[in-house]
Amino acid sequence: MQFTVLGSGAGLPSKKRHTQSYVLDSVDEINQYIMIDAGEALQHRILHTGIKPSKVRNIFITHLHGDHIYGLPGFLSSRAHQGGEDVPLTVYGPRGLAQWLEVTFEISGSRLNYPLEIIEITHGECIEMDGFKVHVHLLDHNIDSFLYVFDENDKKGALDPEKLKRIGLEPGPAYARIKNAETFEFNGETYHTADFTGPDITGRKIAVHGDTRVITTPEYMSLLDGSDLIVHEGTYLDGEREKAHRYFHSEITDVLENFKSINYGSLLITHLSNRYEDGFLDELEAKLPSNVYITHDFFEHPISRNSQGNK
């Protein structure tokens, strides 16, 4: 599983940073990509990757500001001509998303050749999809903006072939049947599969924020605790805490201070103002903890338990 930042900039795009779009690559786990936000020029960003639009089956929109949604109609339309025919897609997002897309498609005369479902989400709900439970939490922004926490389902532990060999059962097709059953029979005896498997594999937890001020409520902190990856905005990176608060955004020092009370694997800082030069960002990142990363367009981060990504 891997997290890719297609656009890392805030508000206005720059020559080096496009606006917000992320992809959670879960092809190895559930044979699909999960997209979070769809900033302007999303189609062009994807052309520079190996991502197949037809394998994007679920899109999660954090909020309806333009830098997070202006690439969505174009992506949905082009997907229809990039292997997406008859391949269903679901888009989740705040109230108003369905109306905006419906009007956009109607006025532009756009037609899709695949089933599209638009689901408007609310604070506190839990969405169940292939391989994940997705928790929805309202953030603190000047319009409704949401955090999505992707909780990967736990998996059964691997079969222990040595234990199976001890009862005389050699490797073969029977192993697959045994793993998917609670009990199995061999040589007239009934066995419990759990006695021949390792411990369950705990699913990973990925928390992706929309735009927000720093939040300190117990409910929010509990939801983030134990995340293997947190993605959080850092529109302000140079100590302007009051300005960040005034404009409903976050300053990196406040974010880091807030997360000291929870356990997490890695933290990606994104949604960066285009006023920050590369030199400043390099100096800042050198001072950060080793599990905190200032992202850029096409930043890739493998996700595993207590993951440490590549800068």
Catalytic residue among 37, 67, 144, 254: 67
Question: Would you give the DSSP letter of residue 202?
Answer: P
CA distance 269 to 11: 15
The sign of the CA dihedral 230, 231, 234, 237 is positive
Whether the Cβ atoms of residue 132 and residue 153 lie closer than 8 Å to each other: yes
Residue 271, annotated as binding a ligand: yes
Around Cβ 287, how many Cβ atoms within 10 Å? Answer: 7
Give me Rg for the CA atoms of the chain: 22
Separation of alpha carbons 27 and 2, rounded Å: 9
The reply to whether 68 sits in an annotated binding site is: yes
Annotated catalytic, 67?
A: yes
Has 137 been labeled as part of a binding site? no
DSSP-assigned letter for residue 281: H
141 is in an annotated binding site: yes
Which residues does 92 contact at the CB level (< 8 Å), separation at least 6?
58, 59, 60, 61, 119, 120, 121, 127, 134
Q: Does the annotation place 211 within a ligand binding site?
A: yes
123 appears as a binding residue in the annotation:
no
Q: Which residues are annotated as a binding site?
A: 63, 65, 67-68, 141, 211, 271
Catalytic residue set? 67
Q: Which residues are annotated as a binding site for Zn(2+)?
A: 63, 65, 67-68, 141, 211, 271
